Amino acid sequence: MRQAGRHLPEYREILATRTFLEVCSTPELAAEVTLQPVRRYRVDAAILFADILLILDAMGAGLTFAKGVGPRIARPVRRRQDLENLQQPDVEATLGYVFDALREVARGLKTEGLHDTTLVGFAGTPWTVAAYLVEGGTSKYHDNLLGWSYRDPAGLRELLDRLADVTIEYLLGQIDAGAQALQLFDSWGALLDEERWQQVARPSVERILDALGDKVPTLFYIRHGAHLLNTLKQLPVNALSVDWRQPLSAVRKVVGDKPLQGNLDPGALLSTPEEVRSRVKTLLQEGQGGAHIVNLGHGVLPMTPVENASAFVRAVAELGQPFPGDD
């Protein structure tokens, strides 16, 4: 997760003269930064360089990223009446640059002899995307979102369904463009308790998963979701991706042998290569009892030393077992 990005000097070089959104929306640049960590670390998968909020720009909400501030939404949607301000976008016309970037990455992987690299597309869950759309950006309290969810849950679900429908088209477009797996990120799902997650967030997630069917393998990421696992294990996804707060053995106690992705603390990559290697050893033991896609539990931190990220990948390659079918 976030393997492409600020921790890489070659990424910082590209960003030095460009904005984040400029890189996202220029297929050659998005493809280039997607490929950077694959070249450097030889990871098994390339995750597209993009942002979960791009669909909001396509829907006319207005998206900017100010340095050090994070995303800003120009026209937040805070109540049912605001829904009419949201556009039903022509996804190909408004988000085609993402599809072009995916095609460019696929080409690049071929050209550079990285045939075995799985190309992963992604989107945010409607609840998580709404966490930004409703608040107008990052938020300390999420009070607009929470208030709406308590005052008018049906209205909010309408928004989430609208977001789900655009997300479906967006993800189907990603598959068409070469995505071989898709990950849904529910970074803010854990604002909700389990019952409310089921009532408010789940329907729009299932809407997406139903539409995707089994076209490509799907992964579902939850941040800080120890209290949601009982519900999440029922989702029709191929793997659950979890953060580092619970060892995978504890997650397995709830979800059984479901394939898991994760979950080294990204903070552990701020230590030393030796420490990283020792943590990977433990991580691999913890992951036993089902398929395990080794990963961090959240995005690579911007200040991660390259040698530690490298030590992580190397340790997994040396100590882990390849997937059945891999050579």
| Binding region for a second copy (CB under 8 A) | 141-143, 146-147, 149-151, 190-196, 224, 226-227, 244-247, 250, 265, 267-268, 270-272, 275, 301-303
Q: Which of 181, 164, 60, 62 is nearest to 120 (CA)?
A: 181
Radius of gyration, alpha carbons of the chain = 19
Angle, alpha carbons 189-194-200 (nearest 5°): 60
Specify the residue, 68 or 324, whose C-beta has the smaller distance to a second copy: 68
Shortest approach of a second copy to residue 245 CB, angstroms?
5
Shortest approach of a second copy to residue 233 CB, angstroms?
15
Say how far apart CA 312 and CA 314 lie, in whole Å.
5
Shortest approach of a second copy to residue 11 CB, angstroms?
17
Specify the residue, 105 or 251, whose C-beta has the smaller distance to a second copy: 251
Shortest approach of a second copy to residue 236 CB, angstroms?
24
Shortest approach of a second copy to residue 97 CB, angstroms?
27
Specify the residue, 100 or 194, whose C-beta has the smaller distance to a second copy: 194
Specify the residue, 172 or 226, whose C-beta has the smaller distance to a second copy: 226
Tell me the one-letter amino acid at 34. T
Specify the residue, 116 or 143, whose C-beta has the smaller distance to a second copy: 143
Say how far apart CA 219 and CA 221 lie, in whole Å.
7
Say how far apart CA 192 and CA 1 lie, in whole Å.
23
Shortest approach of a second copy to residue 138 CB, angstroms?
9
- The secondary structure of 18-85 as a DSSP string is S-HHHHHH-HHHHHHHHHHHHHHH--SEEE----TTHHHHHTTS-EEEETTTEEEESS---SGGGGGG
Specify the residue, 106 or 229, whose C-beta has the smaller distance to a second copy: 229
